[in-house]
A and B are shown apart, each in its own frame.
Chain A
Amino acid sequence: MEKRVEEPRVLEPVRTRGRRGSLERERRQAYWLVAPAVGVLAGVALYPILAAMWLSLHRFILVFGEKRFVGWGNYAYLLGDARFWSALGNTAYFTLVAVTVELLLAVPLALLLQRAFPGRGLLRAAVLVPWAIPTVVSARLWAWMFNPDSGLINRLLLGADINWLGSPGYALHAAILVDVWKTTPFVALLVLAGLQGISEDIYRAARVDGASAWRTFRSITLPLLKPALLLALLFRSLDAFRVFDAIYVLTEGGPANTTETLSIYAYKTLMRSGDFGYGSTLSVATFICVVVLAAVWLRLLGREEAAR
């Protein structure tokens, strides 16, 4: 077998006057070319964020036409707001458990999907169905299945009498189950992409060395899969942290706010109560949490990339 040798290619800028001038020009041109995109982003992303931050410093209740600057007042109330902390706790718990379970299920699923067997294409497509169904629709389906009286789940559990969406201990876990059902295929696909990036040669070498299946998985698959796993972790945890639709349809945050996440709390304050000031404060708090989470993952991912 012939080994392909890559020519090392080194791009050394040739330092001639004319070249440099054209590089400068190209750079300027590049700025102009991305300017429209940056402008659009500033308009649709930056402006709302800044506006929300500005609003969060006000007592602004729509129905009263009352808008008054209160400085950090809303944030001071937020720190003592038991409902905020329980929403944050629910969100963190939801994210942690859902994403962990999804990753644990997705890796075996991806390994299975990678194998060559008849009907693989069909299975790969079929696995995506839960992910393709709009969350609102699938959540509604699950709400019916969770119905304590006539739902499918209690029947499958041989007539168990579990009040899935009505009792504080179960409701959040039911929501996690729905999320896991929906997004595991997506994570599995990300992992599958990672798996396909691993060269077959390494496995052949491992087989020659007589490594066991477990050893191969631990020493080859898992380490080489790490970037893909980290990416999945990044996508999913940011997504799960902002969870809204599934919970809104299943429980609307009840019972007793035990399934209330930060987005649900912010939505209720903003849209149901029309309390734009405090609602914005909650949105900004959510935004900060997501940014911190993203920063941590990106750092880890960056370190991983650098190590390679």
Chain B
Amino acid sequence: MVRTLVFTVVLGLAVSLGQGCQRSPGGGRGAPGATRLVLKYQPLWGPPEPFRELLARFERENPGVTLVTEALPNSSDLAHQFFLTALGGGAEDFDVLIADVVWVPEFARAGWIADLSEAFPPEQVRAEFLPGPVEAAVLEGRTYAVPWYLDVGVLYFRTDLVPRAPRTYAELERFALEARAKVPGLQGFVWQGRQYEGLSCNVYEALWGHGGRALGDGGRVLLDTEAGREALAYLRGLLTSGVSPETVMAFGEEESRRVFQEGRAAFMRNWPYAWGEAQKEGSPIRGKVGMAPLPTVEGVPGFGALGGYQLAVNAHVSPERKKLAARLIAHLTSHEANLVLAAHYGRNPPRKAVYDDPRLKEQAPFIASLREMVERARSRPATPYYNLIADVLQSEFSAAVAGLRTPKDALQRVQRQVDHLTGEDR
């Protein structure tokens, strides 16, 4: 998912320069006639050996193939920009690529990623993977990508400051204000309000929590709805009532995590990665953190936004390479690979069966405990227009959260621009 702090971008760039084109060990140089298979991915941030071993195993099982990994910047926006220009220009220099859940419909419609239905029949994908990521990978009965790992929006809370996890928005606000009244200088609820994709995720979660949907009939992106207005009014209200500090308007994931981790907030909305950080040796809030599904209006467990990546095949490469690429994807998305990513990199498995594997509970108990939330995760609107309109949504959501426009005005403006971009107004 998007951890779009610019310094992580810089870091990501540094990493991509450092290991920009890394030959995986084990395969060595390969025979002179060896096939080079290139995987374009984002660094997984963790010990390098388990992932290298995973790649090396593929080389051992497929003699004559040399795997090359090429890292992209750690920002979803920048990675998308790369694929937009590279695939748009017909690049053939990479075979397997990662795709954010929201890019798959776009790339599939553009004809940039190959139809994988033969190697991964849609029924089989539906049966083996969780419904959320499948929604983003199987389009109109064809498989275009295979889920690799998942991310989901969750609510963190301080077990020493609030009585229990809130189930409704009203409870969240009450608990936050009560905690603030008890502890001077404490913030209530921190989340991601900067104008970027993370804000959109927060808005979608509020929208779903208010009983809304972002897609109307026939796949039209429909946001100017009652639930949409309520969602934006709720987020704005968090700022005006003092539940959330005004500073969330400058927060991305890392900024909100830092405030929460220093013990200066009672609640935080974030991705699962923040758990590991909060529980690290020396963390001021170690042992005082709880995690729960996001609240809703009625109190049923809320829906976290689905993040994470899928693997797809570059449609411009030759048929033989496509076959090999599909084999690599099968290897990287296997049950065993899911376990490796969960145990060493804290990435949630998209395969249902992995959650029943006792090894998961043993090696990554935290990941195993996320099962319910991951199952309920919802994907942002699966539309080919997603990236085309994301920028419009971000700016109008930001205007509503900042109080520059009423939710009603902001959503009307969203709808007008979205309809123009998608051609609905013609």
Q: Please list the residues of chain A having a beta carbon within 8 angstroms of any beta carbon in chain B.
A: 61-65, 77, 82-83, 140, 143, 147-149, 163-168, 249, 251-258, 260, 268-269, 271-275
Report the minimum CB–CB distance from A257 to chain B (whole Å): 5
> Could you tell me if A63 and B195 are in contact, using CB atoms closer than 8 angstroms?
no
Would you call B387 an interface residue if the criterion is a C-beta within 8 Å of the partner chain's C-beta atoms? yes
**Complex contacts, B225 vs chain A, CB 8 Å:** none
- Report how far A82 CA is from B249 CA in the complex, Å: 22
**Complex contacts, B248 vs chain A, CB 8 Å:** 166
> Could you tell me if B6 and A63 are in contact, using CB atoms closer than 8 angstroms?
no
Report the minimum CB–CB distance from B5 to chain A (whole Å): 10
- Report how far A102 CA is from B21 CA in the complex, Å: 44
**Complex contacts, B405 vs chain A, CB 8 Å:** 256
> Could you tell me if B110 and A253 are in contact, using CB atoms closer than 8 angstroms?
no
- If A166-B249, A256-B398 touch, whether A61 touches B196 (CB-CB below 8 Å) is no
> Could you tell me if A140 and B88 are in contact, using CB atoms closer than 8 angstroms?
no
Report the minimum CB–CB distance from B405 to chain A (whole Å): 8
> Could you tell me if A63 and B395 are in contact, using CB atoms closer than 8 angstroms?
no
- Report how far A256 CA is from B402 CA in the complex, Å: 7
> Could you tell me if B390 and A272 are in contact, using CB atoms closer than 8 angstroms?
yes
**Complex contacts, A65 vs chain B, CB 8 Å:** 110-111
Would you call B181 an interface residue if the criterion is a C-beta within 8 Å of the partner chain's C-beta atoms? no
Would you call B81 an interface residue if the criterion is a C-beta within 8 Å of the partner chain's C-beta atoms? yes
For the side of the interface on B, what is the size category?
Answer: 35 or more
**Complex contacts, A64 vs chain B, CB 8 Å:** 109-110, 384
Would you call B421 an interface residue if the criterion is a C-beta within 8 Å of the partner chain's C-beta atoms? yes
**Complex contacts, B417 vs chain A, CB 8 Å:** 83
> Could you tell me if A166 and B193 are in contact, using CB atoms closer than 8 angstroms?
yes
- Report how far A158 CA is from B388 CA in the complex, Å: 44
Beyond the given pairs A143-B6, A149-B255, A256-B395, 13 more chain A to chain B contacts, judged by CB atoms under 8 angstroms and listed by A's residue number, are: A62-B110, A63-B107, A64-B110, A77-B420, A140-B6, A148-B247, A167-B246, A254-B398, A255-B401, A271-B81, A272-B77, A273-B391, A274-B387
Would you call B351 an interface residue if the criterion is a C-beta within 8 Å of the partner chain's C-beta atoms? no
Would you call B186 an interface residue if the criterion is a C-beta within 8 Å of the partner chain's C-beta atoms? no
**Complex contacts, A254 vs chain B, CB 8 Å:** 194-196, 394-395, 398
- Report how far A149 CA is from B258 CA in the complex, Å: 10
- Of the listed residues B81, B111, B250, B390, the one surrounded by the most CB atoms of chain A closer than 10 A to its CB is B250
**Complex contacts, B6 vs chain A, CB 8 Å:** 140, 143, 249
Report the minimum CB–CB distance from B251 to chain A (whole Å): 7
Which residue of chain B lies nearest to A59 when distances are taken between CB atoms in the complex? B423
The 20 sampled A-B contact pairs (Cβ below 8 Å) are A61-B388, A62-B110, A63-B84, A63-B110, A64-B110, A167-B249, A167-B402, A253-B195, A254-B394, A254-B398, A255-B402, A257-B195, A257-B398, A271-B85, A272-B77, A273-B389, A273-B390, A273-B391, A274-B387, A275-B388
Other-chain residue from B80, B247, B250, B264 in contact with A272 (beta carbon distance below 8 A): B80
Q: Please list the residues of chain B having a beta carbon within 8 angstroms of any beta carbon in chain A.
A: 6-7, 10, 77, 80-81, 84-85, 88, 106-107, 109-112, 193-196, 246-251, 255, 258-259, 264, 384, 387-391, 394-395, 398-399, 401-402, 404-405, 413, 417, 420-421
Report the minimum CB–CB distance from A237 to chain B (whole Å): 26
> Could you tell me if A140 and B395 are in contact, using CB atoms closer than 8 angstroms?
no
> Could you tell me if A274 and B398 are in contact, using CB atoms closer than 8 angstroms?
no
> Could you tell me if A273 and B387 are in contact, using CB atoms closer than 8 angstroms?
yes
**Complex contacts, B111 vs chain A, CB 8 Å:** 65
Other-chain residue from A62, A147, A272 in contact with B88 (beta carbon distance below 8 A): A62
> Could you tell me if A140 and B250 are in contact, using CB atoms closer than 8 angstroms?
no
- If A77-B420, A272-B387 touch, whether A257 touches B106 (CB-CB below 8 Å) is no
- Report how far A144 CA is from B244 CA in the complex, Å: 21
Other-chain residue from B88, B401, B413 in contact with A82 (beta carbon distance below 8 A): B413
- If A149-B259, A272-B387 touch, whether A251 touches B195 (CB-CB below 8 Å) is yes
> Could you tell me if B250 and A63 are in contact, using CB atoms closer than 8 angstroms?
no
- What 3 A-B pairs come out closest when comparing CB atoms? A254-B195, A166-B250, A166-B249
**Complex contacts, B259 vs chain A, CB 8 Å:** 149
- Of the listed residues A164, A268, A272, the one surrounded by the most CB atoms of chain B closer than 10 A to its CB is A272
> Could you tell me if B249 and A163 are in contact, using CB atoms closer than 8 angstroms?
yes
Report the minimum CB–CB distance from A214 to chain B (whole Å): 44
How many A-B pairs have beta carbons closer than 8 Å: the answer is 115
> Could you tell me if A166 and B247 are in contact, using CB atoms closer than 8 angstroms?
yes
**Complex contacts, A272 vs chain B, CB 8 Å:** 77, 80-81, 387, 390-391
- Report how far A65 CA is from B255 CA in the complex, Å: 38
- Of the listed residues A164, A168, A256, the one surrounded by the most CB atoms of chain B closer than 10 A to its CB is A256
- Report how far A82 CA is from B247 CA in the complex, Å: 27
> Could you tell me if A163 and B246 are in contact, using CB atoms closer than 8 angstroms?
yes
Other-chain residue from A164, A255, A274 in contact with B84 (beta carbon distance below 8 A): A274
**Complex contacts, B85 vs chain A, CB 8 Å:** 271
> Could you tell me if B391 and A268 are in contact, using CB atoms closer than 8 angstroms?
yes
- Of the listed residues A82, A149, A166, A167, the one surrounded by the most CB atoms of chain B closer than 10 A to its CB is A166
- If A64-B109, A256-B399 touch, whether A166 touches B194 (CB-CB below 8 Å) is yes
- Report how far A158 CA is from B264 CA in the complex, Å: 20
- Report how far A252 CA is from B398 CA in the complex, Å: 12
Which residue of chain B lies nearest to A249 when distances are taken between CB atoms in the complex? B6
Report the minimum CB–CB distance from A305 to chain B (whole Å): 44
- Report how far A143 CA is from B6 CA in the complex, Å: 10
**Complex contacts, A167 vs chain B, CB 8 Å:** 246, 249, 402
> Could you tell me if A256 and B404 are in contact, using CB atoms closer than 8 angstroms?
yes
- Report how far A252 CA is from B81 CA in the complex, Å: 15
**Complex contacts, B112 vs chain A, CB 8 Å:** 63
Which residue of chain A lies nearest to B110 when distances are taken between CB atoms in the complex? A63
**Complex contacts, B389 vs chain A, CB 8 Å:** 273
Which residue of chain A lies nearest to B9 when distances are taken between CB atoms in the complex? A249
Other-chain residue from A252, A260, A274 in contact with B196 (beta carbon distance below 8 A): A252
**Complex contacts, B106 vs chain A, CB 8 Å:** 63
Which residue of chain A lies nearest to B387 when distances are taken between CB atoms in the complex? A273
Report the minimum CB–CB distance from B350 to chain A (whole Å): 25
Report the minimum CB–CB distance from A258 to chain B (whole Å): 8
**Complex contacts, A274 vs chain B, CB 8 Å:** 84, 88, 387-388
- Of the listed residues B106, B112, B398, B405, the one surrounded by the most CB atoms of chain A closer than 10 A to its CB is B398
- Report how far A164 CA is from B246 CA in the complex, Å: 11
> Could you tell me if B391 and A166 are in contact, using CB atoms closer than 8 angstroms?
no
- If A253-B395, A254-B196 touch, whether A163 touches B107 (CB-CB below 8 Å) is no
